[in-house]
Structure 1
Amino acid sequence: MAEADTHSQEQCRARTEDGERCSRPAQDDGFCYQHDESDPTVSDSQTAEAEEQADEQGESDDVEQPRSRGTTTMTAEEKTDPDAVDADVDAEEEIAGILAVRETVQSTAGQLIGHEFDGVSEISPTDEGWRAVVEVVERRAVPDTQDIIGRYEIELDPSATVHGYRRVDRYRRGDTAQFE
Protein backbone atom coordinates (compact mmCIF):
# COMPACT_ATOMS: atom_id res chain seq x y z
CA MET A 1 0.00 0.00 0.00
CA ALA A 2 2.86 2.39 0.84
CA GLU A 3 4.42 1.64 -2.55
CA ALA A 4 1.28 2.80 -4.35
CA ASP A 5 1.38 6.13 -2.48
CA THR A 6 5.00 6.82 -3.38
CA HIS A 7 4.44 5.93 -7.04
CA SER A 8 1.41 8.21 -7.31
CA GLN A 9 3.47 11.15 -5.94
CA GLU A 10 6.46 10.59 -8.23
CA GLN A 11 5.76 13.07 -10.98
CA CYS A 12 8.14 14.57 -13.53
CA ARG A 13 9.73 17.82 -12.29
CA ALA A 14 9.84 19.47 -15.75
CA ARG A 15 7.57 22.24 -16.97
CA THR A 16 5.58 21.89 -20.17
CA GLU A 17 5.42 24.59 -22.88
CA ASP A 18 2.42 26.24 -21.22
CA GLY A 19 4.27 26.50 -17.87
CA GLU A 20 2.37 23.68 -16.15
CA ARG A 21 4.07 20.79 -14.46
CA CYS A 22 4.52 17.70 -16.64
CA SER A 23 1.98 15.07 -15.65
CA ARG A 24 4.02 12.02 -16.66
CA PRO A 25 5.48 9.68 -14.04
CA ALA A 26 9.10 10.37 -13.13
CA GLN A 27 11.97 7.94 -13.56
CA ASP A 28 14.85 7.56 -11.08
CA ASP A 29 16.34 10.97 -11.96
CA GLY A 30 13.06 12.81 -11.24
CA PHE A 31 12.19 13.37 -14.91
CA CYS A 32 9.95 11.47 -17.33
CA TYR A 33 11.14 9.77 -20.50
CA GLN A 34 10.71 13.02 -22.47
CA HIS A 35 12.47 15.48 -20.15
CA ASP A 36 15.90 15.76 -18.52
CA GLU A 37 17.99 18.17 -16.39
CA SER A 38 18.26 20.68 -19.25
CA ASP A 39 14.49 21.35 -19.17
CA PRO A 40 13.03 24.08 -16.92
CA THR A 41 11.86 22.52 -13.70
CA VAL A 42 9.34 23.11 -10.95
CA SER A 43 10.98 23.98 -7.61
CA ASP A 44 10.20 22.01 -4.47
CA SER A 45 8.28 24.96 -2.95
CA GLN A 46 6.12 25.21 -6.08
CA THR A 47 5.53 21.47 -5.93
CA ALA A 48 4.39 21.69 -2.30
CA GLU A 49 2.08 24.63 -3.11
CA ALA A 50 0.60 22.79 -6.09
CA GLU A 51 -0.05 19.70 -3.97
CA GLU A 52 -1.72 21.81 -1.26
CA GLN A 53 -3.91 23.52 -3.85
CA ALA A 54 -4.85 20.16 -5.33
CA ASP A 55 -5.77 18.87 -1.86
CA GLU A 56 -7.89 21.98 -1.16
CA GLN A 57 -9.65 21.67 -4.49
CA GLY A 58 -10.29 18.01 -3.86
CA GLU A 59 -11.96 18.86 -0.55
CA SER A 60 -14.00 21.83 -1.80
CA ASP A 61 -14.90 20.58 -5.26
CA ASP A 62 -16.51 17.25 -4.52
CA VAL A 63 -18.74 17.58 -7.59
CA GLU A 64 -17.01 17.86 -10.92
CA GLN A 65 -18.42 20.62 -13.10
CA PRO A 66 -20.00 19.32 -16.30
CA ARG A 67 -18.33 20.19 -19.59
CA SER A 68 -20.07 20.22 -22.90
CA ARG A 69 -18.71 18.14 -25.75
CA GLY A 70 -16.07 19.72 -27.89
CA THR A 71 -14.97 22.32 -25.35
CA THR A 72 -11.31 22.91 -24.79
CA THR A 73 -9.41 24.87 -22.22
CA MET A 74 -8.12 28.23 -23.37
CA THR A 75 -4.43 28.66 -24.08
CA ALA A 76 -2.44 31.36 -22.32
CA GLU A 77 -2.51 33.41 -25.54
CA GLU A 78 -6.31 33.18 -25.76
CA LYS A 79 -6.65 34.25 -22.13
CA THR A 80 -4.61 37.40 -22.74
CA ASP A 81 -5.40 38.14 -26.41
CA PRO A 82 -9.12 38.64 -27.12
CA ASP A 83 -8.46 38.67 -30.88
CA ALA A 84 -7.38 35.03 -30.66
CA VAL A 85 -10.84 34.08 -29.36
CA ASP A 86 -12.63 36.28 -31.91
CA ALA A 87 -10.81 34.49 -34.73
CA ASP A 88 -12.58 31.25 -33.76
CA VAL A 89 -15.97 33.00 -33.80
CA ASP A 90 -15.24 34.47 -37.25
CA ALA A 91 -14.30 31.02 -38.53
CA GLU A 92 -17.57 29.55 -37.23
CA GLU A 93 -19.55 32.35 -38.93
CA GLU A 94 -17.72 31.74 -42.20
CA ILE A 95 -18.44 28.00 -42.01
CA ALA A 96 -22.12 28.76 -41.41
CA GLY A 97 -22.05 31.06 -44.45
CA ILE A 98 -20.45 28.38 -46.60
CA LEU A 99 -23.06 25.84 -45.51
CA ALA A 100 -25.88 28.27 -46.36
CA VAL A 101 -24.36 28.90 -49.80
CA ARG A 102 -23.98 25.16 -50.39
CA GLU A 103 -27.63 24.50 -49.51
CA THR A 104 -28.78 27.30 -51.84
CA VAL A 105 -26.58 26.09 -54.68
CA GLN A 106 -27.62 22.45 -54.30
CA SER A 107 -31.31 23.29 -54.26
CA THR A 108 -31.26 25.75 -57.17
CA ALA A 109 -28.42 24.79 -59.53
CA GLY A 110 -30.38 22.19 -61.51
CA GLN A 111 -33.33 24.52 -62.11
CA LEU A 112 -31.13 27.55 -62.72
CA ILE A 113 -28.86 25.93 -65.30
CA GLY A 114 -31.43 23.56 -66.76
CA HIS A 115 -29.43 20.37 -66.33
CA GLU A 116 -29.20 17.66 -63.67
CA PHE A 117 -27.11 18.79 -60.67
CA ASP A 118 -24.03 16.59 -60.09
CA GLY A 119 -22.02 18.29 -57.33
CA VAL A 120 -20.39 21.37 -55.83
CA SER A 121 -16.70 21.71 -56.69
CA GLU A 122 -15.84 24.94 -54.93
CA ILE A 123 -17.27 27.64 -52.68
CA SER A 124 -15.22 30.74 -51.92
CA PRO A 125 -15.91 34.22 -50.53
CA THR A 126 -15.53 37.24 -52.82
CA ASP A 127 -15.70 41.00 -52.29
CA GLU A 128 -19.35 41.00 -53.41
CA GLY A 129 -20.46 37.83 -51.60
CA TRP A 130 -19.79 34.22 -52.65
CA ARG A 131 -18.69 32.27 -55.72
CA ALA A 132 -19.62 28.62 -56.17
CA VAL A 133 -18.49 26.25 -58.90
CA VAL A 134 -20.96 23.44 -59.59
CA GLU A 135 -21.02 20.52 -61.99
CA VAL A 136 -24.10 19.48 -63.92
CA VAL A 137 -24.69 16.58 -66.30
CA GLU A 138 -25.25 18.20 -69.69
CA ARG A 139 -25.60 14.90 -71.56
CA ARG A 140 -25.97 11.35 -70.20
CA ALA A 141 -24.10 8.53 -71.91
CA VAL A 142 -23.47 4.81 -71.54
CA PRO A 143 -21.08 4.09 -69.90
CA ASP A 144 -21.42 6.99 -67.49
CA THR A 145 -17.70 7.77 -67.85
CA GLN A 146 -18.71 9.30 -71.18
CA ASP A 147 -21.24 11.74 -69.62
CA ILE A 148 -20.64 15.36 -70.60
CA ILE A 149 -20.22 17.44 -67.45
CA GLY A 150 -20.51 21.22 -67.43
CA ARG A 151 -18.77 23.30 -64.78
CA TYR A 152 -20.65 26.49 -63.92
CA GLU A 153 -19.70 29.43 -61.74
CA ILE A 154 -22.58 30.86 -59.71
CA GLU A 155 -22.34 34.30 -58.11
CA LEU A 156 -24.18 34.91 -54.82
CA ASP A 157 -24.50 37.92 -52.52
CA PRO A 158 -23.55 37.74 -48.82
CA SER A 159 -27.04 36.43 -47.92
CA ALA A 160 -26.67 33.56 -50.45
CA THR A 161 -29.07 34.99 -53.06
CA VAL A 162 -28.09 34.02 -56.62
CA HIS A 163 -27.11 36.95 -58.84
CA GLY A 164 -25.86 35.14 -61.91
CA TYR A 165 -24.03 32.19 -63.41
CA ARG A 166 -21.81 31.28 -66.35
CA ARG A 167 -20.35 28.09 -67.81
CA VAL A 168 -16.64 27.77 -67.16
CA ASP A 169 -15.95 24.59 -69.16
CA ARG A 170 -17.17 21.16 -70.26
CA TYR A 171 -15.50 17.75 -70.07
CA ARG A 172 -16.19 14.02 -70.21
CA ARG A 173 -16.65 12.51 -66.75
CA GLY A 174 -13.91 9.93 -67.38
CA ASP A 175 -11.42 12.51 -68.72
CA THR A 176 -9.22 13.46 -65.76
CA ALA A 177 -6.16 14.53 -67.75
CA GLN A 178 -7.07 18.23 -67.62
CA PHE A 179 -7.27 18.15 -63.80
CA GLU A 180 -3.89 16.47 -63.20
Structure 2
Amino acid sequence: MICAMPVRSFDEPPPGDETPSQGRQPTAVTAVAAIRAAKQQFGEVTGRQPEAVIGVRAGDGGGWSVLVEVVELDRIPASTSVLATYRVDVDAGGVLQSYERLRRYTRGTTDL
Protein backbone atom coordinates (compact mmCIF):
# COMPACT_ATOMS: atom_id res chain seq x y z
CA MET A 1 0.00 0.00 0.00
CA ILE A 2 1.37 3.42 -0.96
CA CYS A 3 0.65 6.40 1.27
CA ALA A 4 0.61 9.84 -0.26
CA MET A 5 2.03 12.66 1.83
CA PRO A 6 0.95 16.24 1.19
CA VAL A 7 3.62 18.27 -0.58
CA ARG A 8 4.87 21.32 1.30
CA SER A 9 7.38 23.93 0.25
CA PHE A 10 10.58 24.19 2.31
CA ASP A 11 9.84 27.90 2.70
CA GLU A 12 6.56 27.06 4.39
CA PRO A 13 6.79 26.28 8.13
CA PRO A 14 5.27 23.01 9.34
CA PRO A 15 1.78 23.29 10.87
CA GLY A 16 1.92 24.74 14.38
CA ASP A 17 5.43 26.14 13.79
CA GLU A 18 4.49 29.79 13.35
CA THR A 19 7.00 32.45 14.22
CA PRO A 20 6.35 36.00 15.46
CA SER A 21 7.90 37.38 12.26
CA GLN A 22 4.89 36.02 10.40
CA GLY A 23 2.57 38.09 12.58
CA ARG A 24 1.44 35.14 14.69
CA GLN A 25 1.85 34.59 18.41
CA PRO A 26 4.53 32.06 19.37
CA THR A 27 3.30 28.78 20.81
CA ALA A 28 4.26 28.44 24.48
CA VAL A 29 6.78 25.65 25.06
CA THR A 30 7.15 23.40 28.08
CA ALA A 31 10.24 23.41 30.26
CA VAL A 32 11.46 20.20 28.62
CA ALA A 33 11.05 21.64 25.11
CA ALA A 34 12.74 24.88 26.22
CA ILE A 35 15.73 22.90 27.54
CA ARG A 36 16.08 21.00 24.27
CA ALA A 37 15.81 24.21 22.24
CA ALA A 38 18.28 26.07 24.47
CA LYS A 39 20.89 23.28 24.29
CA GLN A 40 20.58 22.83 20.54
CA GLN A 41 20.64 26.54 19.64
CA PHE A 42 23.42 27.35 22.14
CA GLY A 43 25.53 24.59 20.57
CA GLU A 44 24.91 25.94 17.06
CA VAL A 45 25.83 29.50 18.01
CA THR A 46 28.89 28.79 20.16
CA GLY A 47 30.16 25.50 18.75
CA ARG A 48 30.17 24.05 22.28
CA GLN A 49 27.76 21.33 23.35
CA PRO A 50 26.40 21.60 26.90
CA GLU A 51 27.45 18.75 29.20
CA ALA A 52 24.59 19.20 31.65
CA VAL A 53 21.56 21.31 32.44
CA ILE A 54 21.77 22.47 36.03
CA GLY A 55 18.68 24.66 36.23
CA VAL A 56 15.63 26.02 34.46
CA ARG A 57 13.31 28.87 35.40
CA ALA A 58 10.22 30.35 33.78
CA GLY A 59 10.93 33.88 32.58
CA ASP A 60 8.79 36.88 31.83
CA GLY A 61 6.40 36.64 28.91
CA GLY A 62 6.34 32.84 28.82
CA GLY A 63 10.04 32.41 28.05
CA TRP A 64 12.58 30.30 29.91
CA SER A 65 16.08 30.70 31.39
CA VAL A 66 18.17 27.55 31.25
CA LEU A 67 21.49 27.10 33.08
CA VAL A 68 23.92 24.85 31.22
CA GLU A 69 27.43 23.62 31.99
CA VAL A 70 29.96 23.60 29.18
CA VAL A 71 33.55 22.36 28.94
CA GLU A 72 35.57 25.35 27.80
CA LEU A 73 39.03 23.77 28.03
CA ASP A 74 39.70 20.01 28.10
CA ARG A 75 42.69 19.08 30.23
CA ILE A 76 44.36 15.91 31.42
CA PRO A 77 43.45 14.82 34.02
CA ALA A 78 39.76 15.62 33.43
CA SER A 79 39.43 16.90 37.00
CA THR A 80 41.43 19.98 35.94
CA SER A 81 39.30 20.80 32.86
CA VAL A 82 37.81 24.31 32.79
CA LEU A 83 34.02 24.42 32.80
CA ALA A 84 31.60 27.32 32.61
CA THR A 85 27.99 27.94 33.55
CA TYR A 86 25.91 29.80 30.98
CA ARG A 87 22.41 31.23 31.25
CA VAL A 88 20.56 30.65 27.99
CA ASP A 89 17.26 32.52 27.50
CA VAL A 90 14.62 31.32 25.04
CA ASP A 91 11.30 33.00 24.31
CA ALA A 92 7.83 31.46 24.57
CA GLY A 93 8.31 29.86 21.16
CA GLY A 94 11.67 28.26 22.09
CA VAL A 95 13.77 30.70 20.06
CA LEU A 96 17.16 31.72 21.48
CA GLN A 97 17.08 35.31 22.74
CA SER A 98 20.36 35.61 24.63
CA TYR A 99 23.09 33.79 26.51
CA GLU A 100 25.80 34.84 28.92
CA ARG A 101 28.59 33.18 30.86
CA LEU A 102 27.96 33.44 34.57
CA ARG A 103 31.00 31.64 35.95
CA ARG A 104 34.17 29.72 35.02
CA TYR A 105 35.77 27.08 37.21
CA THR A 106 37.84 23.90 37.20
CA ARG A 107 35.93 20.62 37.28
CA GLY A 108 37.34 19.66 40.67
CA THR A 109 36.17 22.92 42.33
CA THR A 110 33.28 22.86 44.79
CA ASP A 111 31.17 25.74 46.07
CA LEU A 112 31.35 26.46 49.78
Q: Do these two structures clear the TM 0.5 threshold for a shared fold by scoring above it?
A: yes
RMSD of the TM alignment (CA)? 1.8
Q: Which runs of 5+ in 1 are unaligned?
A: 1-93
Of residues 38, 46, 56, the one that matches 1:105 is 38
TM-score normalised by length of structure 2: 0.67
Residue equivalent to 2:12: none
**Aligned residue-pair number:** 84
**Which stretches of structure 1, 4 residues or longer, exceed 4 Å deviation after superposition?**
none
CA distance in structure 1 between the partners assigned to 2:49 and 2:89 by the alignment = 19
2:3 aligns with none
1:109 shift after superposition: 2.3
Alignment partner of 1:116 is 2:38: no
* Counterpart residue identity of residue 152, structure 1: Y
Preserved CA contact (<8 Å) 2:52 2:68 = yes
Residues 116 and 138 in structure 1, CA contact (< 8 A), matched pair in contact too: no
Structure number having the greater helix percentage: 1
Higher Rg of the two aligned structures: 1
Residues 35-57 of structure 1 show CA distances to partners (whole Å, capped at 9, x for unaligned) of xxxxxxxxxxxxxxxxxxxxxxx
The code of the aligned residue for 1:172 comes to T
State the distance in 2 between where 1:113 and 1:131 align: 17
Q: Distance in 2 between matches of 1:106 and 1:164?
A: 12
Residue of structure 2 in register with 1:169 after alignment? 103
The TM-score with structure 1 as length reference comes to 0.43
Superposed CA offset, 1:38-91 (max 9, x none): xxxxxxxxxxxxxxxxxxxxxxxxxxxxxxxxxxxxxxxxxxxxxxxxxxxxxx
